[in-house]
Amino acid sequence: MPKLTIIAFDGTQYDFDVQNGSTVMENAVRNSVPGIEAECGGACACATCHVYVDEQWSATVGPPEAMEEDMLDFAYEVKPTSRLSCQIKISDGLDGLVVHVPERQA
Ligand code: FES
């Protein structure tokens, strides 16, 4: 089972064993990680599940697709490593993934 680490804005680290095919957002919400609101439920239509992919993982996770990139325009303090966590699907290739929660959502 892949491992996922989410680091909240206050520095608290949340470590989970996660299912392949689940999204980073789903795991964050299910485990009540603070700062991930996910108002649209994962439809790539709200930008309130914004995270920063850890620098070491950025290339592996890859860039957002066009629709996600458009939604990221509504996110707060977007950086080159910004992604919408509902659009990051867990796979064995992302075992050990680390993402950071921004100070606030849009
Ligand atoms: S949950 Fe709404 S865009 Fe990700």
The protein residue with its alpha carbon nearest to ligand 1, atom 3, reads: 44
CB 89 within 8 A of CB 23: yes
Strand 3-7 relative to strand 97-100: parallel, antiparallel, unpaired? Answer: parallel
- Which CATH class for the 3-100 domain? alpha beta
pTM above 0.95, yes or no: yes
Residues 6+ apart with CB under 8 A from 70: none
Q: What residues does each domain of the chain span? A: 3-100
* CA 32 to centroid of ligand 1, rounded, Å: 15
Q: Is 52 helix (H, G, I), strand (E, B) or coil?
A: strand
* CA 11 to centroid of ligand 1, rounded, Å: 23
- pLDDT tens sequence across 19-56: 999 999 999 999 999 999 999 999 999 999 999 999 99
**Does ligand 1 come within 6 angstroms of the Cβ of 33?**
no
**Does ligand 1 come within 6 angstroms of the Cβ of 75?**
no
